[in-house]
Chains A and B, each alone.
Chain A
Amino acid sequence: MTAALAIARREFAAYFRTPLGWVVIALYLALSGVVFALAVLAPAAPASMRPFFGLSGWVLLFVAPAVSMRLISDEIRSGTIEPLMTAPVSDWAVMAGKLAAALAFLVALLAPTGVYVAVLERVSDPDLGPVLAGYLGLALAGALYLSVGAFFSTLTGSQTLAYLGALFTLLLVRLATGEGVAGRAPDAVADALYAVSLDRRLGAFAAGVVDTADASFFVVASAWLYVLSVIALQSRRWR
């Protein structure tokens, strides 16, 4: 536990000691700020954060793998994986610490957007329920995206490869299970695709509907990726 916490703290601090963390936060806030100003604060628009959540659901798909691509890849490339994996710490604790740091960074990334909610609160009267639900959806989907990036990062010492692997996997899943593809597929296939549809579940959260099935989908999928990552990390000991 001490070790996992130590890893999480080191990793989280590393985001802010290297330009990566600041750049990611700045770019995300700039982009989401534009959407907030143009779509949410638009004249006659409903007092709702939905456009912001819709955009963020997509932006996180690109941003989260960039946050987690370095988790293991960087250790492999720099060789620090040697002291890390010869320390008396289980691979479960190593991966848990790494993911916890990435999740904490995700929270740090989303936290400043609370300002948007405060602004919207000043100019109109939004319903806070759907706002909280939307944030919950973003955090859950973000966790899944991070886990995909973390998994790919255990496979290679190249952060670029880890990022691309995660991004293309996420794009494929999101597009294949979205309305565009699943909607045209035969019924049996469509049902299966809808069952793992990220769009549908994220849309429900953004609309203010918190369904335990949707929430557990993201949690369980992230947990599975955590297990896969640990196995991939352990497999370095068999090779």
Chain B
Amino acid sequence: MHSTADIPAPDAIAADGLHKRFGAVRAVRGVSLTVARGEIVGLLGPNGAGKSTTMRMLAGFLPPDEGRVRIGGFDTLSDSIEARRRIGYLPESTPLYPEMTVAGLLEFRARLAGVPRRRRADAIGRAIERCWLGEVARRRVGTLSKGYRQRVGLAAAILHDPPALLLDEPTNGLDPAQISAMRGLMRDLAADRALVVSSHILAEVEKTCGRVVVIAGGRVRADGPIGALARAGEAACLIEVRIGPGDADDLTRALASLAGVSRAAPVGLEANGSPWRRWRLEGGPDARGLAERAGALLASRGVPLRELRPEEPTLERAFLDLIGRPEDKDDPA
């Protein structure tokens, strides 16, 4: 089946060991990332995590201090122009020329991107249609709402049909309807492109991206499919049992000593007249079977059980856990 023509195409986006510092601030410290066509990768992290700096290095706007970026196999520094031909980049806050009309701006950006004259009108028409800009095509960019400006920025970024698209906070400042429309557009665009979307909003990434890269403190904390990332979060389970007076501390100790339990604590009020009390058990990332073990323990002690509910690990908890992790102390300066 394999002939010499089947040499695999280089990854649309391949970043290797990126470092960037601004004075004393080490904004990015060793970010590696590869994205294939057809993939939407969410670059997720709190504000100041190094997302925009990473995006700027991927786009070839900032040179990395260390490491390299290749777009479709072309190095953003040594083969800069070829790499830039293959990138569509929507910078954070969507900088545009306010005095130009939408159509004029797209015409300008098409020339800049090297779209040949005979294909220009077609490319502009398609971008206008894709980003629903038809009704504002003759308006000046400076008079448009934030949502429209964001779409103009996106239209300008896809004019030359780039295989790699970098969108830095594309839904920032949009209303819910616009966010939903933007999401659909991104999925549509990703069909034959590599797409990197940065965001500090978890729900955003969860709904659009097949894969999430969590960045915090300038490092990649996690990289994988959404589901796997969520499973990496802590498992937990909630139990509700009836106990006699004075048995609470004893049961807490017994639950805490179960394998895989990192914390066991009663929850809710004690003196509400009801003999039913609840405990919450938290386990580490690998605490599979937590609920089963808790159930077995309670059965062996003959404690009446009314509720036993394993809590699904959520992406949100996984995310908070990842970005809250203290920075490594021993890294060389």
Tell me if A18 counts as interface (CB < 8 A to partner B): yes
Contacting residues, chain A, for B108 (C-beta < 8 A):
6, 9-10
A88, B109: Cβ atoms closer than 8 Å: no
- What is the 8 Å Cβ interface bit string for chain A, positions 211-239, against chain B (1 contact, 0 not)? 00000000000000000000000000111
B111, A86: Cβ atoms closer than 8 Å: no
B56, A82: Cβ atoms closer than 8 Å: yes
| From B84, B93, B95, B97, contact of A87 by CB (8 A) | B84
Tell me if B263 counts as interface (CB < 8 A to partner A): no
Give the Cβ gap from B206 to chain A, nearest Cβ, in Å.
28
Tell me if B96 counts as interface (CB < 8 A to partner A): yes
Tell me the complex Cα distance, A18–B142, Å. 12
B95, A79: Cβ atoms closer than 8 Å: yes
Give the Cβ gap from B105 to chain A, nearest Cβ, in Å.
9
Tell me the complex Cα distance, A79–B108, Å. 17
| From A79, A81, A90, contact of B93 by CB (8 A) | A79
Contacting residues, chain B, for A87 (C-beta < 8 A):
84, 109, 112-113
Tell me the complex Cα distance, A85–B63, Å. 12
Tell me the complex Cα distance, A80–B117, Å. 23
B63, A2: Cβ atoms closer than 8 Å: no
Contacting residues, chain B, for A9 (C-beta < 8 A):
108
Contacting residues, chain B, for A6 (C-beta < 8 A):
108, 111-112
Known contacts being A79-B93, A82-B56, A83-B89, is A89 close to B99, with CB within 8 Å?
A: no
- What is the 8 Å Cβ interface bit string for chain B, positions 64-98, against chain A (1 contact, 0 not)? 00000000000001000110110101010101110
Tell me if A117 counts as interface (CB < 8 A to partner B): no
Give the Cβ gap from B48 to chain A, nearest Cβ, in Å.
18
Contacting residues, chain B, for A80 (C-beta < 8 A):
95-97
Tell me if A184 counts as interface (CB < 8 A to partner B): no
Shortest beta-carbon contacts, A-B, top 10 = A79-B95, A6-B111, A17-B99, A82-B91, A88-B84, A87-B112, A88-B85, A80-B95, A86-B59, A88-B81
List 14 A–B pairs whose Cβ atoms lie within 8 Å, in order of A's numbering: A2-B117, A3-B114, A7-B112, A10-B108, A80-B95, A82-B59, A82-B61, A83-B91, A83-B95, A86-B84, A87-B109, A237-B62, A238-B63, A239-B62
